[in-house]
Amino acid sequence: MIPWRFKLLYDGGCPLCRREARFLQRRNRHGRLVFEDIAAPEFDPTIYGVSREQLMGVIHGVFPDGRMVTRLEVFRQAYRAVGLGWLLAPTAWPGLRWLGDLGYNWFARHRVGIGRIFGRNCAAQACVNPVAKGPRR
């Protein structure tokens, strides 16, 4: 079996986040991408050296060696792990990287409201989003 290449830390309390995780799970035929629900009661953020608020503010991902990335880079790595890296490759190009990061930052701040627009409410305010700040990695 091929070991995992990337771990996606996603908010299982957020309907939009769950939907994206399910999309990636269906395409994860070789098990190169693993998923960890940061909203699960047993989840311990201290093993990653970050707070729950930081994890809820922006998406995070982890490589097997422990390196952590955030924001749009997480999606680039997750899509690459399931063989769809070409879809997001242009977001790493100069100029487009800046624009993609700007778009993701806006989305991260407004994901709860965006979910409501599309009829995807969070149960019991499970994914109330703290200010989307944190280290840029």
Domain membership of residue 130 (yes or no) is no
What global pTM score does this model have? Answer: 0.81
**pLDDT tens across 49-74, in order?**
999 889 988 899 999 999 999 999 99
DSSP letter for each residue of 57-126:
HS-EEE-TTS-EEETHHHHHHHHHHTT-HHHHGGGGSTTHHHHHHHHHHHHHHHHHHHHHHTT-PPGGGT
**pLDDT tens across 122-135, in order?**
554 445 544 444 44
Region of 119 (left: φ > 0; alpha: ψ -120 to 50; beta: rest) is: left
Domain membership of residue 136 (yes or no) is no
Domain membership of residue 135 (yes or no) is no
Report d(CA 127, CA 37) in Å as an integer: 12
Residue numbers of the domain that contains 54: 6-125
Q: How many domains does the chain have?
A: 1
